[in-house]
Chains A and B, each alone.
Chain A
């Protein structure tokens, strides 16, 4: 036992040193605050539009813009969104998304809905959709946000829901066309950003078929996603318009511009770390003492 406890003590000391190093680095380099580019910076030929659909929680579709970003992940942050990865895949797997324009920047799905420890299931996750300039249909991104490079005039969309493996069906398939999110001329884009309840009507038949897919797959969503979905259905009913007998989902989803969210840059307090390490060290010292006496008197 003595050897064991000595070894575990050594392991603990090694970890302690490791954490101290982390602490120093962490305090020395506070991560920067995201600076948002205004939507007017994006035009049909420059900048990339990125939109996040919070409709799953009854929220708006938040739209932002980024110029010359080197990855889809950087684009999200440049547009003012905050992201959180999951424990298993790291920050590169977008598990939560938030923006100040919706519920004061709360990241969705919340911890009660998705723990974000393992990779989220394919029935409820943020899916990543791309529409290059001049293309009016969504392509399910084959790359993660860390490796996709946004191109000028492109539109990127994040929707929450489920998809099949190929990204052709499921509740996560976008129900509105890329053109309804695209940057127009500068004057037009200004107008879109000021009106928060602009309605978009489906322009192509593909969109309508996607909408039907969405409603049919609503029935087989996971238990986890059921409660918020019902909430969204009631909102939809409240905003129901008599002029449209069966309005597509997009007709009531307001499009709002993204607001920059100040990311927390503080590295937290070192007190819990010191308390935890001292407790563990005390216990290990006790174990070592007992083992030493045992070896001596046996």
Chain B
């Protein structure tokens, strides 16, 4: 039963390997940008279906690859919250609207008359709110898909050298949570096997003490390992170069902030928009490059960027570009109105664009086989005799 999986035999022509994480991120961000252009519920549902299809085909068995369902829950929460707010801050109803129910009106003082609380809740308003929430939920799920498909630890490798301390801290903190959970589970299992159950606050002590000791032990081991590999040395940076790096980064950040304000705010001077953003980006890149020179890193087993990476990233970019191009043609099909109530249309070009994103499910290589069994399959007794996870080869 646990021999070569059948669905991998179909992909026998290709070697299973993990796709470059950046390719998955480009693909997902392209989808986010595409989704941002539309409030058509059919296109949004299609996007969710494409996400599910790609994830089902190409996710690994790592713990983060099971994260997608939490994003789905989060999306559902967003939709519900949006509908609740829409219902509470009612827009009122007109003849021809379909009133679902009426909430009691709370009268607001005259100086606060712009906000109405309570009132009739119409089907039209609820649907509009639901679709608006669905758009945000779909965007969240796109990010969730990237999280499920790409290995976060390997994604941090592409951080510029100047930020390697940051990346290191993130990797350590990402690893911490699974280790803690594993540690808690181990201690709980050991407690179950022992007789004499304690109750109340003592339980906490009997769990917390070994878990904390475990965590401390791990940290010391990690610190020793990192120290022996040369982490934390300052490198050949001079005071002048460090100051120059700091100045470049600060100016660049100021430029980025001013640029965002210029692009988003109304009535801001024209030069604050794109020019400021570009100048800020150039300064930041300069600062990162300068700061990165003091750090010398070697890459152990670098992730290759081959044809599948190009195809997957290209799919995402193509989807975003096609939706941006089609906005002018059928604006009403991309953003259909529910006043009066009618069926949403399904514009052809955006639909094809979203389906193109699904090509990633075939273009990406099959995910690598798990090198060790998942904890749920390993069985409890063997885990206690082997507290440190030993690599297990599938039989």
> Hey, which bits of chain A sit against chain B, CB under 8 A?
1, 3-5, 7-8, 11-12, 15, 19, 22-23, 25-26, 29-32, 71, 73-74, 77, 84-85, 87-93, 111-112, 115-117, 121-123, 142-144, 146-147, 220, 222, 263-270, 272-273, 275-277, 279-281, 283-284, 286-288, 290-291, 293-294, 297-298
Contact = CB atoms under 8 A, between A and B. Distances in A.
A84 B338 CA distance: 10
Contacts of A276: 42-43, 45-46, 344, 346, 351
A29 B66 CA distance: 44
B91 A90 contact: yes
B96 interface: yes
B91 to A, nearest CB: 4
Given A11-B72, A87-B128, A275-B346, A22 B59 contact: no
Contacts of A111: 331-332
Contacts of B95: 32, 74
Interface string B37-71: 00101110110111011011101010001101100
Given A71-B94, A272-B344, 7 more contacts: A22-B123, A73-B94, A90-B339, A91-B125, A91-B339, A273-B343, A297-B5
A291 B65 CA distance: 13
B9 to A, nearest CB: 9
Q: Which 5 A/B pairs are nearest by Cβ-Cβ distance?
A: A146-B92, A276-B42, A272-B346, A31-B96, A92-B91
Contacts of B306: none
Given A5-B52, A280-B45, A287-B57, A298 B2 contact: yes
Nearest to A96: B337
B48 A280 contact: yes
A12 B49 contact: yes
A74 B43 CA distance: 33
Interface stretch (B110-118, B185-193, B251-259): B110-118
A267 B266 contact: no
A252 B345 CA distance: 42
Given A87-B132, A268-B345, A276-B45, A117 B39 contact: yes
A12 B75 CA distance: 13
B303 to A, nearest CB: 23
A23 B331 CA distance: 22
Interface in B339-357: 339-346, 351, 355
Contact of A23 (B50, B110, B343): B343
A117 B110 CA distance: 28
Interface string B304-343: 0000000000000000000000001001100101011111
Question: Which of A71, A115, A276 neighbours the largest number of chain B CB atoms within 10 Å of its CB?
Answer: A276
A277 B86 CA distance: 26
B10 to A, nearest CB: 10
B53 A121 contact: no
Nearest to A85: B339
Given A87-B132, A90-B125, A112 B98 contact: no
Given A87-B132, A277-B45, A31 B91 contact: no
Interface of B: 1-2, 5-7, 39, 41-43, 45-46, 48-50, 52-53, 55-57, 59, 61, 65-66, 68-69, 72, 76, 86, 91-98, 110, 113-114, 116, 123-125, 127-129, 131-132, 266-267, 328, 331-332, 335, 337, 339-346, 351, 355, 358, 370
B92 A25 contact: no
Nearest to A281: B49
A279 B128 contact: no
B313 to A, nearest CB: 21
A125 to B, nearest CB: 11
B94 A12 contact: no
B319 to A, nearest CB: 15
Given A25-B98, A32-B95, A146-B94, A1 B345 contact: no
A272 B42 contact: yes
A91 B5 contact: no
A112 B332 CA distance: 11
A143 B116 CA distance: 9
A123 B266 contact: yes
A261 B135 CA distance: 32
B113 A1 contact: no
Nearest to A4: B69
B58 to A, nearest CB: 9
19 contacts: A4-B55, A4-B72, A26-B342, A73-B92, A74-B95, A88-B132, A92-B92, A111-B331, A115-B331, A123-B266, A222-B267, A263-B340, A272-B343, A275-B346, A276-B344, A283-B52, A291-B56, A293-B5, A297-B7
Contacts of A12: 45, 48-49
Contacts of B46: 276, 279-280, 283
A8 B340 contact: no
B66 A1 contact: yes
A32 B93 CA distance: 14
Contacts of B127: 22
Nearest to A14: B76
Nearest to A21: B123
Contact of B124 (A90, A112, A115, A291): A90
Contact of B343 (A116, A267, A288, A290): A267
A31 B331 CA distance: 23
A267 B342 contact: yes
Question: Which of A12, A22, A30 neighbours the largest number of chain B CB atoms within 10 Å of its CB?
Answer: A22
A36 to B, nearest CB: 14
Contacts of B91: 85, 89-93, 144, 146
B343 A143 contact: no
A1 B59 contact: yes
Contacts of B96: 29, 31-32
A22 B127 CA distance: 9
